[in-house]
Amino acid sequence: MRENRPSGSVEGAAGDRGPYSDPASNELWPHRSQPALRASGDPTVESRGNVDRHQLLLPARVITIDDIEALRGRLRELPRNQPTEVSKQEAVILLACELGAARRRGYCPEEVAQLMSEQGITIHAATLRGYLRR
């Protein structure tokens, strides 16, 4: 009795794996079925949320030297980023000059840590010493 094979499958061909040799068959390869459409009608993402890179419809974009120069100009014009919040380690880094000056004036790390805690930056002396060593 002849095995029921999908069209295009040749018995004995290199790489023949029986009925699974035709990945275009939706019955044998359910994960290759048509992707679910997004609300926008874009079929680039399957219903499971995985991108099937073979079904991406976007053409490859060539990056030109003009693109690079335009981006270079925009990056140069960016203003300095001034964060409003920093971590304790970043606070110590920003205050490194002043903390070093306090130490040279005879203040020990415990005293400096106490002063910082009074100003709202709670830090242990050992942590302060570790940050200043870096």
The residue with greater pLDDT, 1 or 80, is: 80
Q: What is the pLDDT of residues 28-52, one digit of tens each?
A: 545 555 555 455 555 554 445 566 6
Q: What is the pLDDT of residues 75-85, one digit of tens each?
A: 999 999 888 99
Q: What angle do CA 91, 92, 93 make, to 5 degrees?
A: 90
pLDDT of residue 105: 96
> In the chain, where are the structural domains located?
18-78, 88-133
Report the predicted TM-score, pTM, of the whole model to 2 decimal places. Answer: 0.43
Residue 92, Cβ density class (10 Å: 0-12 exposed, 13-18 middle, ≥19 buried) = buried
Task: Report, as an integer, the average pLDDT of 58-76.
Answer: 91
